[in-house]
Structure 1
Amino acid sequence: MIMAISNEARLLIDLCRRLLQPDYQASEQVKLSGDEWARLSYLAAYHRVGAVLGSFARSLNAPLFVTTLLETYYLYNRERSWLFAQEIASITKRMAAHDLEVLVRKGGYLAYSIYPEAAVREFNDLDLLIHESDRERASAVLTELGYAQGTLTKDARVVKPIARRTEVFWRLNASSVPIFIRPAANDYVNHYRVDLRFGLLEPVTGKSLPMEHWFSGAEAVHAYGMSFRVASREHFLIDVAVHLYREAITLASIDANKDLRLMRFLDIAAIFASGDSRPDEARLGSLVESYDLCREVYYALHFTDILFPSIIPQELLARLRPDDVAYLDQYGEMDHAKATWPIDFVTRLFDPERNRFVQSRSELPR
């Protein structure tokens, strides 16, 4: 059961639930005032589910400014989703031409295969998984395609080279390469970002995963005119859950105010609510236990269950639940600055200024 939250937050959750289960009916109809409608629009964009609400815009009985704003958000994201599909296809085809094995991760698969339609799943990065031994060749392919590592200028036309200090820090402390960026100069996408990852866990965790399992069990997906490869349903869920956990507790994410997004929990719920893409519970549980990822995966499933009850299998939750769950309200462990939030999960999820409670700051070079 969801803790006491604002009317607009509750409606936000109800509409996300209805996206996954069209027959879902909330226990009581939420009615909003003018100010609450305005805040709903803000929260929808902040939590990256504006396109979800936009798909329901005409049935909300909302003020005209809200209906127009949300529907525009949906239509805008629909155009972006087609452009991102073309970019994913371009990159994966070029990688294949160079005999590079690559798996599409996160939004690139969720949008086109898990959600009812790509237009409702917002994503800004193209997330790819490669073999660690291929990172130099894969980076070279992206360079051939016009990508560069660094920071984008304000006009989104030029990528300024990455600082040497940042590059060295990344090589020593990350299981990915620095983000690749390509200016696009498009009305809907002004730049593309590629996150090229060769491991799911950072060295600071002290854990290492057998990434060959992700590749050996991969399968081909055909959607929206694209053909690409993704990890098995169980490995894909583990990837999404581990990412959610990492973003939620690291100081860099909290500093950037992107540690918690409703969209990430909706992703988890969507995977379990889907038909053919639903993971096998027994195999998933066995893999999570064998990889020593109960803490990470339970974190994602537990809070998804709070927001979207009855979608996550309770037997799986019970199986993965660690003996000590105090960590669920902690952050900063990966930064060697472990602390406890003074507010509960739902309160901090819907408080965009929650980082005011955090005393420590990330040491990641900027």
Structure 2
Amino acid sequence: MNRLELSLERQLVLLASVEVEEADRPHLTELLDATLDWSEILYQMTTHRTLNMLTYNLKKFGLFEPLEGELKRLLNLQWAAYRERNGSYAAKLAETLRAFAEKNVVLPVLKGNLLVNTVYPSLETRTFNDLDFLMQLEDVNAVTEALEGLGYIQGEYDAEAHEIKASSRKAKMVHQMTTHEIQEFIQLTDHPFAPVVEVDVNHDILWRGNCPYKVPTRELIARAVPIELYGERGYRLDHADNLIQLCCHLYKEAVLMVWISSLKDLKLYKFADLYMYIRKFSSEIDWDGFQDRVRHYGLEKVVYYNLHYLQLLFRDIVPEAVREAFRPDDLAYLDQYAIENETPSVWEYDFFTRLFDVNRILSVEEGTAEGFKRFQAVKSS
């Protein structure tokens, strides 16, 4: 199936999940002139975290005002809420960068907090739920001191009680050894749209366990580039490393059971992140250098997974020669999941069905699901 065979609603969801270009204005207008099921559009763009991109695109091309009044009110309220929410996170990000600078540690900003400031058209158009950084494990004490000095607590958030349950030293060590991050840092606030702020500090861009890939964090941070965010000095990964990080992030969450079980595996915003980054920095990306680095780390299959589905979702954005350079002979892995198992499982649904239908979880093989539950129980104990 290709994207033009999808329903009109899902075509609109795909088109408006990234900033629409002038060349696609006629298609956007044509879709909006059709009879649409807006409940489907609103659900899909909410669960894929792209609803504010729809609002942006409609206003950009003067297509917002003809919408039904209550729909416009809903979209405007969502936009205003995320302006306040993301503005609050921006202040927290600046505060955190200042604290890291005082400790003289380099922690590149990752994912949404970087992208909303570099590739998205406005603060409201990229939603996120935490602040993400990359850290060398040798800096863990300095990072912990910096964040605890700002009032953050390592633990888990109890939403019902609106309180933080601090983790024991043993729990922190287990979390660090079994995952790609240290125990999250949490702070309660009185902000109505951001009652809790979470800081995720990653020490690996891949995953722990049977991961066959290794990208040394030390090398990524050594190549980090200074950047100013909200008046504070911060860092980002260089372009090749940022592309690698985005590809690794999307791939691991798409194929590992821990994300599949919570329906966080396939989200359009992750593909949109990659698309928007490449579009913004295409003239600055050294594609030959990128290919060399991907091959150096043996990440050809991981990167091709991203580029294959990126082409399926949006217009061509990566040079064909680059995409084809990573294409493996056997493409069966594109439909595999639970790759942490000795023998991966295979989805019975095609990619677009998996992307849009939450019932995909019902097709997870029983043995795979039970094995994951046992693993989680052991880890929790």
| 2:207–2:252 contact (8 Å) kept in structure 1 | no
Which residue in the other structure is 2:179 paired with? 174
Deviation at 1:232, TM superposition (A): 0.2
Match of 1:250 among 253, 256, 271: 256
Secondary structure at the aligned position of 1:192 is classed as strand
Alignment of 1:1-366 (within 5 A): 1-2=2-3, 4-17=5-18, 19-25=19-25, 27=27, 29-30=30-31, 31=33, 33=35, 36-57=37-58, 59-60=63-64, 61-155=66-160, 157-162=162-167, 167-204=172-209, 205-275=211-281, 278-336=284-342, 338-358=344-364, 359=366, 360-361=368-369, 362=372, 363-364=375-376, 365=379
Distance 2:325 2:155 in 1: 43
Amino acid at match of 2:103: H
Structure 1: where are the runs of 5+ without partners?
Answer: none
Amino acid at match of 1:150: G
| 2:94–2:229 contact (8 Å) kept in structure 1 | no
Distance 1:315 1:245 in 2: 21
Distance 1:26 1:316 in 2: 30
Amino acid at match of 1:281: W
Secondary structure at the aligned position of 2:15 is classed as helix
| 2:4–2:11 contact (8 Å) kept in structure 1 | no
Secondary structure at the aligned position of 2:73 is classed as helix
Distance 2:171 2:349 in 1: 33
1:74/1:337 Cα in 2 relative to 1: closer, same or farther (>3 Å)? farther
| 1:51–1:70 contact (8 Å) kept in structure 2 | yes
| 1:177–1:196 contact (8 Å) kept in structure 2 | yes
Count of equivalent residues: 364
| 1:41–1:66 contact (8 Å) kept in structure 2 | no
Secondary structure at the aligned position of 1:274 is classed as helix
1:284/1:57 Cα in 2 relative to 1: closer, same or farther (>3 Å)? same
Distance 1:276 1:313 in 2: 10
Deviation at 1:306, TM superposition (A): 0.7
1:27/1:352 Cα in 2 relative to 1: closer, same or farther (>3 Å)? same
Out of 51-60 and 125-134, give the one that drifted further: 51-60
Distance 1:206 1:179 in 2: 25
Distance 2:145 2:281 in 1: 38
**1:25-61 CA distances to partner (integer Å, 9 max, x unpaired)?**
3557224546x11121111110001111122455243
Deviation at 1:249, TM superposition (A): 0.6
Deviation at 1:292, TM superposition (A): 0.6
Amino acid at match of 1:170: H
TM-score, normalised via structure 2 length: 0.89
Deviation at 1:263, TM superposition (A): 0.4
| 2:20–2:57 contact (8 Å) kept in structure 1 | no
Identity of aligned residues (%): 26
Distance 2:25 2:269 in 1: 20
1:115/1:156 Cα in 2 relative to 1: closer, same or farther (>3 Å)? farther
Amino acid at match of 2:9: E
Distance 1:256 1:99 in 2: 37
Amino acid at match of 1:114: V
| 2:253–2:265 contact (8 Å) kept in structure 1 | yes
Distance 1:164 1:334 in 2: 27
1:165/1:40 Cα in 2 relative to 1: closer, same or farther (>3 Å)? farther
1:71/1:54 Cα in 2 relative to 1: closer, same or farther (>3 Å)? farther
1:26/1:306 Cα in 2 relative to 1: closer, same or farther (>3 Å)? farther
1:247/1:302 Cα in 2 relative to 1: closer, same or farther (>3 Å)? same
What is the alpha-carbon root mean square deviation over aligned residues?
A: 2.2
Distance 2:113 2:4 in 1: 32
1:276/1:329 Cα in 2 relative to 1: closer, same or farther (>3 Å)? closer
**1:146-183 CA distances to partner (integer Å, 9 max, x unpaired)?**
21222212246311133777545423322311222111
| 1:237–1:279 contact (8 Å) kept in structure 2 | no
Out of 193-202 and 210-219, give the one that drifted further: 210-219
Distance 1:219 1:13 in 2: 32
Out of 223-232 and 100-109, give the one that drifted further: 223-232
Amino acid at match of 2:109: V
Amino acid at match of 1:103: P
Out of 20-29 and 4-13, give the one that drifted further: 20-29
